[in-house]
């Protein structure tokens, strides 16, 4: 489990999406699943998003977490869980975590590092704002030939 945290608007989502694209291009995982949690997480919606990406259908609500868990344990998956606001009980969703994670990797984004720590993530990286020199260098690189120094 890896967490990326920092204030809103820094580019956490953009960063993890790029990690997902690179991992997909390099064929590092069987599947790459991106799911947004939001401030008021809806477990069914999270489960449905993951299940759709894995080609999994649910017949009834009582089996959702177990069926999702079973499917994920059989594959090598990069699961990107974006926009976590508070601790999310991965097990209740059906996401293998901690020692039972198998070959799966979980990449999470949040504004609150405490949420990551409560979920058991120990590899957490903080994103900060660019200083003036970094911002100017980025601007010049992105502007290309449009900018004359």
Kindly list the averaged pLDDT for each block of 10 residues, start to end, along the chain of length 149.
94 95 96 94 94 90 89 91 95 82 88 94 90 86 70
* 8 A C-beta contact, residue 127 and residue 11: yes
Which element (helix H / strand E) includes 46?
helix 43-54
* 8 A C-beta contact, residue 34 and residue 82: yes
* Predicted local confidence at residue 112, as pLDDT: 94
* Predicted local confidence at residue 115, as pLDDT: 95
* Predicted local confidence at residue 77, as pLDDT: 94
Torsion of CA 93, 95, 99, 104, to 10 degrees: -170
pTM: 0.86
Rounded distance between C-alpha atoms, residue 125 and residue 32, angstroms: 21
Rounded distance between C-alpha atoms, residue 107 and residue 2, angstroms: 5
Tell me the domains of the chain and their CATH numbers: 2-146 (3.40.50.300)
Which residue in 25, 22, 23, 45 sits closest to 35, CA to CA?
45
């Amino acid at each position: 489990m890896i967490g990326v945290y920092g204030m809103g608007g820094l580019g956490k989502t953009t960063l993890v999406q790029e990690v997902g694209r690179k991992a997909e291009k390099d064929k590092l995982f069987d599947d790459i699943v991106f799911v947004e949690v939001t401030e008021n997480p809806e477990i069914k919606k999270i489960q449905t998003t993951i299940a759709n990406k894995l080609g999994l259908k649910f017949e009834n609500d009582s089996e959702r977490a177990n069926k999702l868990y079973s499917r994920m344990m059989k594959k090598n998956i990069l699961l990107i869980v974006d926009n976590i606001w508070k601790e999310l009980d991965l097990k209740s969703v059906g996401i293998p975590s901690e020692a039972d994670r198998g070959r799966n990797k979980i990449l999470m984004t949040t504004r609150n590092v405490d949420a990551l720590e409560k979920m058991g993530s120990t590899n957490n990286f903080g994103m900060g704002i660019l200083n003036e020199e970094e911002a100017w260098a980025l601007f010049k690189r992105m502007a290309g030939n449009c900018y004359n120094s």
